[in-house]
Amino acid sequence: MKNIQKCFFAVLFSMAIVGCQNVLNLEPRQSIDASRALNTPEAVNAAIINIYSYLKSQVIYGRDLVATTEALSDNSRIINRAGGRYVNQGNNVLGSHVGGWATYYSVINEINLVLEALPSVSLSDARRSEIEGELLALRALFYFNMMRIYAWDPSAIVQQFDKGGVPLMLTGIKNLSQITQPPRAPIRDVYQQIYRDLQEAVQKAPTTGGPHRITRGAAAAIFAKVALYNADWTNAARYATDAINANVGRLATNANYIAAWRERVHPESILEVLFQQEAESHGVNESNQSAFTTRVSLTSNSLGGWGAVVPTPEFLALHQSGDIRRQLYQTGVNRSNIVVEECTKFLGKTGTIYMDNVPVLRVSEMILIRAEAQARLGNLNQALADVNTIRTRCGLPPVAGLTREALIDEIILQRRLELAFEGDRWFDLKRLGRDVIKATGNLQFGDPRYLAPIPLRELQANPNLVQNNGY
């Protein structure tokens, strides 16, 4: 029973009313009646704040969806000066992946409980609708991340190894008697549910308030990215355009591109994870900053982080002469008698070392999503215009006269350069069905190491779950 409790939403709703505390350090309390706990607007607001706090978790954007996925990818190599951290991921050792299964289901349960309680809370219809849109977008985002981690993408399913997506849990669990043991839903079914959530979210979410809370622009941006992974090019282009036009973020110029990464809030952010208090810092051992650089700041030679996940020479060589993005990589300080070039996108912008806001969705990515979608639809002129927006902004000459395939390759290259060390490259290789080529050993597409293993305790608790191939 204890394992079942952990698997299916061990973190029950008493945690949702404690504000921004670290929910992973709290014990589950099955005795809370969510219908009573969520009977005021204040309780609902506290619950929403707690739901957003999950985004800062180490297994989500606090580390794993940024630093750990970069270690898995071909952008980086691992310098073993962090006590072995990231070495197995850099070597793509079987089972060394990203995860977060229990954390994702805990927050999904909290979302479900709030959604179920909303009809009886004293709120205006307009405010209730906004909250519904906000929470549905977040639920879609959490399910989307789980699918990227544990399942094949709809655009590149390895049929003989397809074990399905993840279990769909759409009602709240308040006590052990309500726990069920659902199987993994088919990949198509999970994406259909994500679509349903996002279709409602883009109609209901607040129009203002970003980038640290979901807006309609952020919901559209999530939808664009989900559609990209679903090879749904029409919707990818449509919602990328909606996200751009929402004006939640603005495209950085060549003149302020580097400065944008030094601001507390990235001006391009459509959705950004907010770190406010020093207590939220993940510290030298687990933070994104420490994973990527030894520096405390750009100007100080004081030793700071581990600088374990660093760009490969091959990745750095992809930057053409004049590409302003190359300035985001500079020599670190000496640690373990090693000095190498490191990524400086995360440098304690909040004023506290090891504590950076994390851009989740940026305007640049929306432009590149639209470019890829238009290219795959055969609208080459529109795709060229978008990719050239990114190229010229970065100080590169525009491209012209490319074939469809050459244009798609150029767009994927610009995605790699633009979104490097933000956690996208590994998942791009997976959705594109491409091999991972790296000095530590190549992964042929379809290798079990593309997917994370479902934790053993979940399989023991739920006999209807099927493990991924190779584990």
What average pLDDT does this structure show over 397-409? Answer: 98
What are 314's two structure tokens? 């091959």
Q: pLDDT grade, residue 453 (50/70/90)?
A: very high
Average pLDDT over residues 239-268: 96
pLDDT at res. 410: 98
Q: Comparing 12-26, 110-124, 175-189, 202-216, which segment has the lowest mean pLDDT? A: 12-26
- Per DSSP, the three-state class of 118 is helix
Report residue 36's pLDDT band, with 50, 70 and 90 as the boundaries.
low
State the angle between helix axes of 216-229 and 233-245 in degrees (0 to 180), rounded to the nearest 10.
160
Residue 69, C-beta contacts closer than 8 angstroms, at least 6 positions apart: 98, 423, 424, 425, 426, 427
User: Lowest-confidence range among 61-70, 129-138, 350-359?
Assistant: 350-359
Task: List, as one string, the DSSP characters of 243-281.
Answer: HHHTTSS-PPPTTTHHHHTTSSS-TTEEEEE---SGGG-
pLDDT value, residue 147: 98
Which pLDDT score, from 0 to 100, does residue 263 have?
93
Residue 173: pLDDT band (50, 70, 90) is very high
Q: Are 100 and 64 in contact (CB under 8 A)?
A: yes
CA–CA gap between residue 327 and residue 319 (Å, rounded): 10
Number of C-beta neighbours around residue 192 at 10 A: 14
pLDDT tens-digit series, residues 282-314: 999 999 999 999 999 888 889 999 999 999 999
Neighbouring residues of 103: CB distance < 8 A, sequence distance ≥ 6: 24, 54, 57, 59, 60
pLDDT (average), residues 379-402:
98
Cα 417 from Cα 2, distance rounded (Å): 45
Mean pLDDT of 165-191: 95
pLDDT for residue 25: 33
pLDDT digits (tens, 9 = 90+) for 57-94: 999 999 999 999 999 999 999 999 989 999 999 999 99
Which token pair is 303? Answer: 């030793």
Better-scored residue on pLDDT, 176 or 96:
96
**Given pLDDT bands bounded at 50, 70 and 90, which one contains residue 349?**
confident
Query: Are residues 4 and 462 in contact, defined by beta-carbon separation less than 8 angstroms?
Result: yes
pLDDT value at residue 278: 86
Q: Cα(147)–Cα(152) distance, rounded to whole angstroms?
A: 7
The per-residue pLDDT for range 15-31, each reduced to its tens digit, is 333 333 333 333 333 33
Please say if the pLDDT value at position 7 is more than 80. Answer: no
- pLDDT at residue 448 greater than cutoff 80: yes
Instruction: Give the Cβ contact number of residue 312 at 10 Å.
Output: 16
Q: If you average pLDDT over every residue of the chain, what do you get?
A: 92
